Each structure stands twice: as structure tokens, then as C-alpha cells.
Amino acid sequence: AFSSFAWPLQIQIDVSDSERSLDSQKQKFMDKLEGEKAEFNRNMTRYQEDLEWVKTLNDYSLAMKCANRINALKENLDTAKERVQSFEDREKLFGMEVSDYSELDVMIEGFEPFFRLWTAAIEFKHSEDEWLNGPLSRLNASEIDQLVEEQFKESYKTIKQFEGQESPQEVAKALRDDIAQFRANLPVIRALCQDAFQPMHLLLLFEELDRDMDMEDGLTLAQLLEIGIIDHIEVVERISAEAQKQHGLKTALANMKREWKPMELQVLEYKNTGTYVVKGIDDIQALLDEHIIQTQTIRGSPFVKPIEKEVKDWEVKLLYIQDLLEQWLMVQRSWLYLEPIFGSDDIQRQMPNEAKRFQQVNTLWRSTMESVVENPNVLDVSDIENLLASFTDANKKLDAIQKGLNDYLETKRLAFPRFFFLSNDELLMILSQTKDPTAVQPHMGKCFEGINKVRFDENNEIIEAMISVESEVVDLDLPVKVMEGEKKGNVEMWLAEVQDSMIDCLTKITASSLTAYAQTERTKWVLEWPGQVVICIDNIYWTQEVATSIDNGKMEDYVKQSAQQLSGLVNLVRGDLTKLGRQTLGALVTIDVHNRDVVGELHSKKVSSSAEFDWISQLRYYWKPAGSAMMKETGKPNTVDKCQVCIINAMLYYGFEYLGNSDRLVITPLTDRCYRTLMGAFHLYYGGGPEGPAGTGKTESTKDLAKAVAVQCVVFNCSDGLDYIAMGKFFKGIASSGAWCCFDEFNRINLEVLSVVSSQVQAIQFAIRDKKQVFLFEGTEIRLIPSCAVNITMNPGYAGRSELPDNLKALFRPCAMMVPDYALIGEIVLYSYGFEDAKILSRKAVGSLRLGSEQLSSQDHYDFGMRALKSILVRAGALRRMYGSSRPEGVLALSALNDVNLPKFTANDIPLFLGITGDLFPGVQMPPSDYGTLIGQLESAARDLTLQPQSGFIKKCIQLWETIMVRHGLMLVGATISGKTEVENVLAGALAAVADGENYLPVQMHKINPKSIKQGQLYGDFDENTHEWSDGILALAVRFAANADRSKRQWVMLDGPVDAVWIENMNTVLDDNKKLCLNSGEIIKLSVVTTMLFEVRDLDYASPATVSRVGIVFLEPDTALGWTLIVASWLLTLPDYIKESHAEQIDSLFNGYFEVMLECTHRVRTPTAASD
């Protein structure tokens, strides 16, 4: 502690010692700095001397000798610059005055241009020596060219820089001259110093120059210059150009080979077959096409000789791959088609030779695909031995198999001609399951118009009865034993027996019913027999009774009798009936009302003879027991009971084809005229051709006449994709089965096809006229059933229609179909539904449509024609069945009018239409809606989808449902963001929630954009080369929906613009036929739960034929939806933390500013500058 008192003194002593030591060291450093500065000044004198020496240099040839000294001076000056910086730093550190070394900067600045000059000279001298004496093969022409050009330009700059300084300017000029002299060699360097110029080209050059050069030790530019190569520069450049072209060809060939190395075949596993198929090869095909053209271009070049063999080999390789892929894909297409067919034991058993051939192809296919899966490289696959030959042979076998298969199908079709109305795939499906007779059930409806399925016995060996779509059961008088003798496994045989048994059964039932009619009370009798038989017998007795009354002068009594009979039926309709009974009575009332009107007309015209035209121009039925009539085909008496159907002098035999218990068409004067034309045409062995605008009953009249004479009528919707092969198949089926056909929209077929069709139709008509039993049709001998007839319907003046050739027109008797008597049709239909005031209500319904068409706005989606009336009548009938007598008929009729029409009207037209109906139905009050449960679920479904259950939106959902109830085809029309899709989604969700298994069913949707694909991809098309059919997306969706379980509604939805081309192919789908007709010949009938929905912006390009066929639900964004609902729904999708704190603020901002923005964007089209 005591020693600490001495610490301050000790510190002072230590500090003094340190200062003395530091001063001593500083002096030493300063002395050293002075010494270094003195030495630096001496060096500076030497550097100045060297600089002066450089400035006096004037001999360019000394460049290489002076190089070291000049470079040394450059290094010294750079070092001096660093030392000056060090001096200055130390002087500042020691607090000394900073020395001035500006003469160094002057020296460096003065040396710089001289250094650049001599550096350029040195570098060029060095490079020139390398270029002249170095191996020619190592020279890079582009680098040399670039360097020489740069140095030549720099030399000019240097000459100008040293203007007035004689010595350096002389050096610069000498450098320029030297560079210029070397530049003369550049053409030789450019020609020879490149990858393309090979030793072979040098030999060719020396040969042309007649020089012998030793190339073993490497050739130099100097050697070439010595032999005067410059004088032969044209020869050099020509050979060089050839070399470049050859090199380009070689490079292109190498690039092609390199591109092919990674190319692989894409394969995917095919279903459960245990093998693979090749996926799309578009990339390979595109590369192949490109490279084949490139290779052939190379082969055609005059410079190909050095690589000619290699190019030929490559071309052969590419062409081999092209042929291989072509044959491969052909095999794959056929294999994909035939594999499921020959996977069936039944087909293998029936076609053993073809099955054996297919097995050989199948083995080849599987082994090849195994190899490809192991190594998919295209070049390696092409090296598989004999692959192309194997595939070519396989294609020949497949062609033979295909021909054998087609012949086999033709044999089956000729044995049972109704198979002609099935596509190949459908027929193969039947034939591949012949062990199971019940497998034919799904296809019965396509072979027989009225048979939906047949009833088998317990062992599935005997067909006991036929069952219609309406579930009417008719027991067969002659049961068909499907497993007996040759019929076992031969479906065509027992189906032909079903056909014979059906005709025999119906003939006998009709004869029995004819007897029973006279013995049973009429109101009881109508419910005891099949609907078709009831109508036939009713017409037979009516014909007999009217003729008797006319001849006996008792028409007035018969008028009263007809009214009484009809009144009895209507009273029955209003009573409690089974579904089948109501169906029978509905059709019978339709016929009886017409019969009553005919009787009244005959009475008013005072017809007194059954031979008068007014009577014989009616459709009359005459029963002809066996032996009582002469058959016009044979000239012999009939051996079985017959029923003659006559109009004027034309007579057809009732066909006794079972047609089920279906509706009948209301017969108007227009229908009568159509019947007379068609019957007259058939009598003269022609076809019928009703033509006229949409909705006038062309197709339906033809079909109804077929029902009237009990003949199968196959309706087919024609399109521009139909060819003569498909038409020929139809005609074979018609001629050999005795059926009628009705080709709807016949003038949509292409003109070149129509000219062939004319000869096909003519062949059939001539054969009937000549009373042939068999005749030759397109190379096939087929049997002829003379009851067959070809009918066509045509719509004039729409897009995609052609004018029929004159030779085809002559084969059909035309019938102009104009606007029918709407009021009469409405009256009779309402009458058949049990309405007492049918006449008044019908006139009001027709009046509302007429006034609507006159007073409402003109819209593309409005239709006030026959089909619009039909929808109103169907809805009225449904409401009648639903409410019976609990609601007045006026209320039911007004409800039907509103339900069908209001959905399609614009907001402005709705009040106008309600005004029209208010005037027509004064004092009628509409009851409140009874969709209570459904509306609740609609609101719930909307909330589940984060939508607002606003009343206008829910109303549109209800309207969609009501339209679905009366139409199987409908369109939601409205601008984007009008809620079309969400209306469908909400209704589908609600239907699932209220599903009761009857009216309300869950919904399965199938959504398609029809304009995103070609028409062939939508419906299906034939392969141009193989004529093999491929189904389209819509065909697959409709087939799935038609065959789906009836426990769900099937909505096939097409979301995209409608035009008059693709939509016209759906005419028979959207009208009462409910059939999608494919060009393959397949006809897909919609099930009762299938609905076709279309989402469209507008119907600007749709034809009237389309608009009239669909129900319309029209949505307007501003009225049904509005922007506030969209904002409200969007706010619900925001994250919770935003909703909690900012939802109200965002909503108020929208409400405050959005309307103003809309005003600006919607109404102020052109912005205008605002000014004070």
C-alpha cells in the first residue's frame, strides 16, 4: 500500500522514456524516407532518359528487339506511381511537407501513346509470326479477321495522334503498311482456317493447282504464300465454299441424329388387359415429318457426295420408322376395337377362324408392347427384328378379321332385319352374350317400337309376354322358347320368332276384342284390353257404324250416339283410374273427338252415300276375317285375319306391330290432308315428304299414321355427317323388315350423298312395284316386305340445308305443312285430360300466345308456336292430375300458362303478359305456391354454396324446376354473371335434399362445352381411312344418362354458344322423339329422368326449329341478381379476421361508390374532360 504513493512519479518517468524512444524511431524513419526519395529522384532521371529514347525510335523493324526495354519502362513507371503514393502517405504521417512529383504524371502521360504504339507493333509482329509459321490447322479465321481489322483501324488513329512527330508517325505508318500487307492474306485464312476445310479439301486444292506439298509436318500459311496461293484465290474460295456446304450438311445430319436419341414412345396400361397401348405420338410424328423432308433435301444437294451413304442409310431409317408407326397405329386401332369383341367366348365360338387370326395378332401385340415398355427409345424399337413386316402382316389379318366380322354381322342382320337399326357396337354387345338371353333386354326397345322388355319364365328359357315402356303387359299367345334347337345361342332366330309371335298375338287379341266389344259395356271394355287394340277396334266399329248410318239415313242419331260415347269416356277420365287406364283413355278420347267431329261434319253436309268423297276421304278401318279378302301382293285370299286401313282408293294393311300404350296425335284438317297425301303416295309406291316450318307436325304426323296402321316407324335425325354407307344400312333394314322410316331434316344431308340416296330409294320402290320377294340392293340380296316406306321431312331456308336433286324429289309426294288449328288441338288435348271447358280454355290459351307474339318485345328466344302450346297443355294435364277437382279449371289453365311462359320473358314483358292473361281470365286469383319444402331447401342450398337466397334468384330456381317438369330439353338464356350455373347448382342441391324417390330425385350432372371441340368429337365420327366409328363426348354422356339408374335425374348440360350447325343434330333429341341419332346408325333414346340443359348467352344464331323445341328460362343480371348480391356473397368468402373488422366498411364503400362507377362505365361511353 505504501508503494502506491510512488506510482504517479513512476508513470511520468515511463512516459518520458517512451517519448524519447519514439522520437528516435521517427527520426530513423524520416532519414530512411529521405534516402528513398533521393534514390527515386535518380531513377526518375533514368526514366526520363528512357522516355526520350522511346520518343526518338523511328524504325518499326526494331519492335521485337526494343520490346523488353519498352515493357520495362512501363513497369518502372507503374512502380514509381505506387512509390510516390507511399512517399505522400508517410510524409503526411510524420507531419512533413508533401513533396511534388507532378513530373511523374507528365512522364506517364507522355509515355502512354508511345507505349500503345509499340505494344501494337510488338503484338502484331508476334501474332504475324505465329499466323505465318504456325500450323494452319490451329488458326482461327474469325479471331484473326477480327484482330487484324481492329489493329488496322487503330493504326489509322495512331497516325493521326502523332501528327507533327516524325519518328513515332513513321513507326505508325510502317505498322499500318505491315497490317495492310497481311490483310491481303485474310481471304486465304477465311477460306482455309475453318472446321469445314478438311485434309481432303487441301489435297483437292493442291491437285487443282498442280502442286505437290508435304503435309506430314503440318502446313503453314507461309508455305502456301510461297507457292503463290493468293494468285489462285478464286479456286481456294470455291473449294472452301464446297467444304462449308458439305460441313453444313454433315452438321445437320449429326443434329438430326442427336435429336432422335432421347425420343421415346409413350405407353400406358390399357384397362385390365394386362398389356399396353401407345399414347399420342404427335411429337414423334412432327419430328419425323420434319426430318424426312430435311434428309431428302440433303440428299438432293450437289455437295452430299462425301456423306451420301450415311444420308441414304438415315433416310431409309426414317422412312422405316414412318412406315412402322403407320402400321403400328393401324394395328392398335383395330386391336382396340376387336379385343373386347373377341374377348367374348360366344363370339369366339361363332367365329373360330377369325378368333384364331386375332389370337395371333394379340400375341404379337403383347410381346411387342412388353419390349417397348422395357426400352421405349424409338431408334431402339425400330431395330427390333422384322417388326414392320410383322405389323404389316398383322394388318392384313386384321382386315380379313374385320371383313369376316362385317360379313358375320350382315348375316345376322339379314336373318333379323331389325338389327340394321342398331349400330355395330350394339349388335356385337348382343351377340357377345348369347348364352344369356336376358342380355338382349336393354336393346329390345331399339328392335321393337313398343316393346321395352320381355318377360321370361323362371328359368329364362321361354318368353311369355311383352312389356311396353308404359308397363303394359301383353301375354304372347305363342310363347318363344329361346333355348330350343337351333335357337339356342342364335339370338336372331328367337328374336324373329318374337316378332312373328307379337304379330300373331296382336291379331288374335284384336279378333277377340272385336267380339267382346259387342258383348261388353263400352266404358268397361276400354279398360280391359291393350290400348292399341282398343283404338283399332274403336275405329273398326266407328267405320262400320258410320257407313251403315249414312246408307240408312240415320246420321242424326249417330251424331247423338257419338256424343254420348265420348261423354262416357270423359266421365271415366275424371274418375279414379290406373296410370295405364288413363293413358288408354287419353289416346282414345283424342281419336273419338275427331271421329265425333267427322260425324258432325258429314251430317251437316248431308252425306247420303258411303261412296261419297267426304266419307271415303276419312281414315277407315275394315276387319277382314281369313279368306274374306284378296291379297294384292299374291292375288290370293288372306289366310289369316286382316285389317284394312283405307283413305279414298288407297289401302294399307294394319301391321299388328305392338306399339305400346302411347299417346296419339290430335287430328286436325291439316293432319287429315297429310294422311291422305302419305297414303296416296304409298298406294302409288312413292314415299311421303311433308315439308314446312318448325312446329307444324311433320314428323309427328308421319309417326302417328304409322301408329294408325300399326307399323314400326324409325325416326332418324339427318346431319351433314351422314354418308351413303350409313343410309344404305338403313334402307336394307327398312326394306327387309317392312318398317317405315322418317328421315327428319332430310335436306341437311350433303348433296353428293343425296344423289346416291336417290338411286337407293328408287331400287326399293321399283322392287315393291314389281312385287318382288327378294331383290338385289347394293350387291346384297335381301328379302322385301312390301309394307316398307321411306318418308322424309324438310325445313326450308335454315342454315345447313341443301336443295334436293330433281331425281330425288320425284320419288316423294310433297305435303305442305303450315300452321295447324291450335285451338282445335288445345281443345281435344284438354278434353282428353278431363277438362269440361276445354273449348273455352283452349281458345284463351291460343289467344294468349297470339297476343303475346303481337304485343311483347321481339326476342330470339321467344316462341309462341305449336310446341309452346303443347307445353302449356302438358302442364295443365299435370296440374289436373295433381289437384283433380279441388281447383277450378280456370285456375289450372292460368297456372299452366304462367308456369310455362313467365320463365322465358324479359322483366319488361312480364307485366304485359300478366295483363293479357288478366284480361283473358278475369277474376281468377292464383293460389299461393305449394313448393314449401322445396323453397326451404333451395334457400339452404344457396347458403351452402355461399350465395344469397334472394327471392328473385329462388324464383328462377322454381321456374327452372317447373320447366323441367314439362320439357326434357331446355335452355338457360342470359348474359354472363346472370347466375345460370348457380341456379342449376342450387336446384340440384335442393332436389337431393328433398328427394322422395318419385317426383324429387337427386341429380347427376354431365357438363360439356360443345364449342371447345370439333363436331366429330362431340357426336362421333367415322375414320376416313378405315370407316371405323369413334363415339363423341356427347354421345358417351347421353348413352350413360339413358342407361343410368332411374333413382337419379340425369342432366346433360351443354355450356357454350348455340349455332344452327351443331345444335340441329339434336332436333330429334329435343322433340317428342327423345332420340339422339348418331351417324353410326345408333339411336339413343332418352330415359324419363334425362334432361338436356343448355347454358347460352343468347340465341342469335339458333334456328326457329331449335327455339321451338326447348323450354326457356331467361335470366337478367340486373333484375334477377344485381351486383349487391354478388358483393354480399363475396364478403362471406373473406378471411374471418377481415370479416370481423372490415366487412361493414367494405360493404358501405361498395354501396357508396359502385353505382357511380357503373353510371360512368355503362352510360358514359366516351370519357369527357371536366373543367371549371
DSSP 840-897: HHHHHHHHHHHHHHHHS---TT---SHHHHHHHHHHHHHHHHHHTTSS-HHHHHHHHH
**Strand bridging mode 1029-1031 / 1020-1022:** antiparallel
Q: How far apart are CA 102 and CA 651, in angstroms?
A: 133
**Strand bridging mode 969-974 / 1090-1096:** parallel
Q: Give, as one character, the DSSP assignment of residue 1121.
A: I
CA distances to 423, 440, 655, 1128 from 448, rounded to whole Å, are 15, 12, 13, 56
CA distances to 153, 708, 741 from 679, rounded to whole Å, are 103, 11, 14
Closest alpha carbon to 1109 in 1064, 1147, 1160, 1079: 1064
Confidence at residue 1096, expressed as pLDDT on a 0 to 100 scale: 92
Closest alpha carbon to 346 in 412, 415, 276: 412
Q: How far apart are CA 545 and CA 560, in angstroms?
A: 13
Would you say 202 and 253 are in contact if contact means Cβ atoms under 8 Å apart? Answer: no
DSSP assignments along 903-923, one per residue: GGS-TTHHHHHHHHHHHHSTT
Confidence at residue 629, expressed as pLDDT on a 0 to 100 scale: 82
3-state secondary structure of 1076: strand
Q: How far apart are CA 401 and CA 242, in angstroms?
A: 56
Confidence at residue 571, expressed as pLDDT on a 0 to 100 scale: 83
Would you say 1018 and 1010 are in contact if contact means Cβ atoms under 8 Å apart? Answer: yes
Q: How far apart are CA 1058 and CA 1044, in angstroms?
A: 27
- Reduce the secondary structure of 678-727 to three states and give it as a string: HHHHHHCCCEEEEECCCCCCHHHHHHHHHHHCCCCEEEEECCCCCCHHHH
Would you say 588 and 707 are in contact if contact means Cβ atoms under 8 Å apart? Answer: no
Confidence at residue 1172, expressed as pLDDT on a 0 to 100 scale: 47
Q: Give, as one character, the DSSP assignment of residue 482.
A: T
**What is the helix (H) or strand (E) element at residue 1097, kind and residue range?**
none
Angle at 526 between CA 524 and CA 528, to 5 degrees: 75
Q: How far apart are CA 368 and CA 667, in angstroms?
A: 66
Q: Residue 1167, Cβ neighbours under 10 Å: how many?
A: 8
Closest alpha carbon to 489 in 448, 430, 445, 408: 430
Confidence at residue 537, expressed as pLDDT on a 0 to 100 scale: 94
**Strand bridging mode 642-647 / 650-653:** antiparallel
**What is the helix (H) or strand (E) element at residue 1030, kind and residue range?**
strand 1029-1031
Q: What is the mean pLDDT of each run of 10 residues along the chain (1172 residues)?
A: 71 78 72 73 76 70 70 76 73 71 73 72 72 70 75 73 72 73 70 64 64 65 68 69 73 86 88 85 88 86 81 90 91 88 84 91 93 91 90 93 90 91 86 84 87 91 92 92 86 92 94 91 90 94 93 90 87 83 89 91 90 93 89 82 92 92 89 93 92 86 94 88 87 93 87 89 92 90 92 75 83 89 88 85 92 90 88 89 85 90 89 90 82 85 87 88 90 88 92 86 92 89 72 92 90 89 83 86 88 91 85 83 80 84 85 80 62 52
Confidence at residue 358, expressed as pLDDT on a 0 to 100 scale: 92
Q: How far is CA 812 from the centre of its chain?
A: 36
Q: Can you say whether residue 460 is alpha, beta or left, with left for phi > 0 and alpha for psi between -120 and 50 degrees? A: left
Confidence at residue 143, expressed as pLDDT on a 0 to 100 scale: 76
Which amino acid does the sequence have at 791?
Answer: N
CA distances to 761, 801, 904, 957, 984 from 1107, rounded to whole Å, are 32, 17, 11, 21, 20
Q: How far apart are CA 428 and CA 993, in angstroms?
A: 41
CA distances to 424, 437, 551, 909, 1001 from 430, rounded to whole Å, are 10, 9, 55, 54, 31
